Amino acid sequence: MTITTKKSPTIHTLQELQDSGYRSRSIKEELRENLIESLQKKQQPFPGIYGYEHTVIPELERAILSGHNINLLGLRGQAKTRLARLMVNLLDEWMPIVQGSEVNDDPMQPLSRYAKDLIALKADQTPIEWVHRSDRFVEKLATPDVTVADLIGDVDPIKAANLKLSYADERVIHFGMIPRANRCIFVINELPDLQARIQVALFNILQEGDIQIRGFKLRFPLDIHFVFTANPEDYTNRGSIVTPLKDRIGSQILTHYPSTVETAAKITSQEIRPGAGQVKTVLVPHLAELLIERISFVARESEYVDVKSGISARMSITAYENLMSTAELRCLKHGHKKTHVRLSDFNGIIPALTGKLEIAYEGEQEGARFVAEHLIQEAVKTTFETIFPKIPKLEKQQARGAYQDIIDWFVNNSEEFELTDDLGDNAYRGQLDRIPALDTLIDKHYPLKEAAERSFLKELILWGLVANKKLTRVKLEDGMGYSDFLSDVLKGL
């Protein structure tokens, strides 16, 4: 019987539990049977996970069907812990235990001395309590200071003295986190950081089902579904997973970053936590959302970034939040009620990038801020080239054709073209509308109706021409100024 009521079941004694038809099963059987039921009902067992539909999730499902303990191996920010937490949804909603048990004793198959003694004393009237599946997830971050006593347990001399027990009695043991997680999902994050001697202590639990504490060997067949997470060993030089422990882990599943910017944008949109009222105040064009993700993709291929450390999805999430706050701050300072994100607002995401990038040697020579600005510029250039005709380096005269009217506008216009932060949205759009050739180019290659996204795209064209050395951009105290590249070079001479 699977208990699926929202409220705690009204069964309170062992006799009532037996009469209800409840059937004991291991946690691996429970996960397997509930996964089968979920798949038969065409339900998604891992909601909110994008980009893993044909890679990680099928492998995870196979591991659960096989009853394997699992190691999720991948770089930071690849949803390893989230996958482990979502496995809780495959547990029964309620689980019965012997009331007062430290190790979640199954009333039908008691494990501890406490539960066995209680059942022997009260028989069918043994009290039962219920544990919700949300409380059947235990997580431990592996750190160098973790001890065997923390995970498995230790002999408690005070308990032995108070109860007048010899050290040969199992009741003198103070159980650690793992025995207390009996019949639960137990996750150890960053497994390579766990000292080798502590990893060795897990051997018997994973394979033989007994625990050893200070020479005290106790046959204690724990029922636990283990999930480990780890970064690739070539990155985490702090340690490694010892080979015999690897051998005892049934399935090792490799995670990865999203393969497309659209998938990455879905993840970011799901994870961002905008401030109260920010969603109503700031409009973020879809192109801006994709550009945020493009920065991560560019970073994963940049010579300035140590790609072995990974580019976490958290970088895009915090960058998105900073982008909205940059636009909101401009809106507040100038007394506007609403605004939309501009390309120049991307200068406000630099603090979110510099704190999450592991800079390589080449990047250290230039500085973190330079690397962040370079990644933004490269992302703009890549986005620009996916929408508009690419500008080859060798065929300059032929390639200039698509952008000649825009460049000519800057050559023939004597007035400074500036996009300052204090411009309201209407004035900002009006300034960009001064260049009719921008509208012509957009209508030909990427027709857009929404004014906010159209303005964003116009500024992206200007940035793209700057990246290809067709225009010059100058950072002003309160915005950006643009001019013809050749004229600017001649002025310099």
Q: What's the average model confidence in pLDDT over 456-469?
A: 92
- pLDDT tens for 380-430 read 999 999 999 888 665 545 445 788 899 889 888 877 889 988 888 888 999
pLDDT above 90: percentage of residues in the chain: 54
154 band by pLDDT with thresholds 50, 70 and 90: confident
* Class in CATH terms, 14-254: alpha beta
Per the model's pLDDT, the better-predicted residue between 447 and 132 turns out to be: 132
Neighbours of 208 (CB within 10 A): 12
d(CA 130, CA 4): 12
Question: Is 7 a residue whose pLDDT tops 60?
Answer: no
Per the model's pLDDT, the better-predicted residue between 202 and 211 turns out to be: 202
Q: What's the average model confidence in pLDDT over 162-174?
A: 71
Question: What is the pLDDT at residue 491?
Answer: 55
Determine which of 8-12, 58-62, 317-321, 469-473 has the lowest per-residue pLDDT on average. Answer: 8-12
* Class in CATH terms, 257-387: mainly alpha
d(CA 482, CA 487): 11
Residue 192 and residue 153 in contact, taking contact as beta carbons nearer than 8 Å: no
- Give CB contacts under 8 A, 24+ apart, made by 387-393: 387/445, 387/446, 387/457, 388/441, 388/445, 388/446, 388/461, 388/464, 389/445, 391/468, 391/470
Question: What is the pLDDT at residue 399?
Answer: 45
- pLDDT tens for 285-314 read 999 999 999 999 999 999 999 888 888 899
Question: Is 37 a residue whose pLDDT tops 60?
Answer: yes
Average pLDDT, the chain: 87
Question: Is 473 a residue whose pLDDT tops 50?
Answer: yes
Question: What is the pLDDT at residue 323?
Answer: 95
Q: Which CATH number is 388-493 given? A: 1.10.10
> In the chain, what are the domain boundaries?
14-254, 257-387, 388-493
Determine which of 233-242, 246-255, 473-482 has the lowest per-residue pLDDT on average. Answer: 233-242
